[in-house]
């Protein structure tokens, strides 16, 4: 191969990787988790609070994110950092440990998305992994599809099936991030590495992800519709500015991730992104406090709901169902 031909091949290789990273990169997020401790987010560490970090990819502009189940397993706080630096609390809509996939939701719209592709892969095909290895934001590595339909034990009774094997460098923190083709389409979700093995990384195929997304979304819709308020929520620590401006005596609230159309909350004109502060005279600083308040107020109606929207305290009257 002549020098010119060699350089052209390298340029084509570089362009393929650059194109893939530029197309999928804006939809790749960092996922931080907190386990144990009291209220607060992973970036605000408390005693006895374990922390974890992984990656994820936005697949729907209304805030749905795909990641690994093991990234969020046991977490009571999940924080997503977007490529533009925004940090958003996320709720876990559902997870399937047997497939090592989970779906998260943030209360934000018009987000950049990556295309999920179930196009059959070929051994030797160029692929690119994007994620946050060791917490290092937005890292790109490249390699090839080494093998298809691999199996990998995850414990004494379970194993992951139909995995993509790749020599693309994958490290702790990459988990849950996308494996993409040269068009920037997501072909897999990185899931595991073999300790002390070089060139052995694995990803859950996008075809498996489609099935998991379908099951989790269907279950979530049913649960959302059955709830007395028709909402999906997560704990949220309030910022100091909102506390001062609204003269609040509480440090936390409950963020509405999703509001079911036709449900009690929707009929009261509540919407995703609102932060619940109280039901009647009962402060709701956590999801657990909200559940207890709902139980205590059963049989009474309507309820006065106090909440924050756009940084301002508001209140509405709500007629619960069930």
55, 64, 146, 175: which is the annotated catalytic residue?
175
Tell me: do 96 and 135 sit in the same domain: no
pTM for the structure as a whole: 0.85
How far is 142 from 125, CA to CA, in rounded Å?
11
> Looking at the predicted structure, is the pLDDT value of residue 36 above 80?
no
In DSSP notation, 282-305 reads EE--SHHHHHHHHHHHTT---EEE
In a domain, 260, yes or no: yes
Predicted confidence band at 238 (pLDDT cuts at 50, 70, 90)?
A: confident
State both tokens at 127: 């692929």
Domain region containing 266: 227-318
55, 70, 146, 235: which is the annotated catalytic residue?
70
How many domains are there within the chain?
A: 3
In a domain, 120, yes or no: no
10 Å CB burial of residue 259 (0-12, 13-18, 19+) is buried
**pLDDT (tens digit per residue) in 94-150:** 999 999 999 999 999 899 999 999 889 999 999 999 998 766 678 899 999 999 999
Tell me: do 13 and 62 sit in the same domain: yes
- Known catalytic membership, residue 60: no
Q: Which CATH number does the domain housing residue 193 bear?
A: 2.40.10.10
pLDDT of residue 74: 87
64, 100, 235, 293: which is the annotated catalytic residue?
100
- Known catalytic membership, residue 100: yes
Q: Which of 88, 305, 95 is nearest to 215 (CA)?
A: 95
- Known catalytic membership, residue 181: no
Report how far apart, in Å, the C-alpha atoms of 50 and of each of 35, 72, 102, 126 are: 5, 12, 20, 36
Place of tokens 């977007």: 82
How far is 81 from 59, CA to CA, in rounded Å?
15
pLDDT of residue 99: 94
């Amino acid at each position: 191969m002549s020098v010119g031909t060699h350089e052209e091949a390298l340029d084509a290789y570089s362009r393929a990787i650059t194109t893939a990273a530029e197309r999928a990169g804006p939809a790749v997020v960092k996922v931080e988790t907190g386990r144990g401790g009291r209220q607060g987010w992973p970036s605000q560490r408390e005693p006895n609070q374990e922390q974890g970090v992984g990656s994820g990819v936005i697949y729907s502009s209304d805030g749905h994110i795909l990641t690994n189940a093991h990234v969020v397993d046991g977490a009571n706080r999940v924080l997503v950092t977007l490529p533009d630096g925004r940090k958003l609390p996320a709720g876990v809509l559902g997870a399937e440990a047997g497939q090592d996939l989970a779906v998260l939701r943030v209360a934000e719209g018009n987000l950049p998305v990556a295309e999920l592709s179930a196009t059959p892969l070929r051994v030797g095909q160029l692929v690119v992994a994007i994620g946050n290895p060791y917490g290092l934001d937005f890292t790109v590595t490249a390699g090839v599809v080494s093998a298809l339909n691999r199996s990998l034990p995850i414990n004494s009774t379970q194993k992951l099936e139909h995995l993509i094997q790749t020599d693309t460098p994958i490290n702790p923190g990459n988990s849950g991030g996308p494996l993409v083709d040269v068009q920037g389409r997501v072909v897999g979700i990185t899931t595991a590495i073999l300790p002390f093995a070089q060139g052995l990384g694995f990803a859950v195929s996008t075809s498996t992800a489609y099935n998991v997304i379908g099951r989790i979304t269907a279950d979530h819709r049913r649960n959302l519709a059955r709830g007395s308020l028709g909402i999906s929520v997560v704990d949220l620590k309030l910022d100091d500015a909102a506390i001062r401006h609204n003269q609040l005596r509480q440090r936390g609230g409950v963020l509405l991730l999703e509001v079911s159309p036709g449900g009690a909350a929707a009929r009261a004109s509540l919407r995703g992104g609102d932060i619940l502060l109280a039901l009647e005279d009962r402060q709701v600083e956590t999801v657990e406090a909200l559940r207890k308040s709902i139980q205590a107020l059963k049989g009474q109606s309507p309820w006065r709901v106090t909440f924050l929207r756009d940084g301002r305290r508001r209140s509405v009257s709500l007629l619960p169902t069930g």
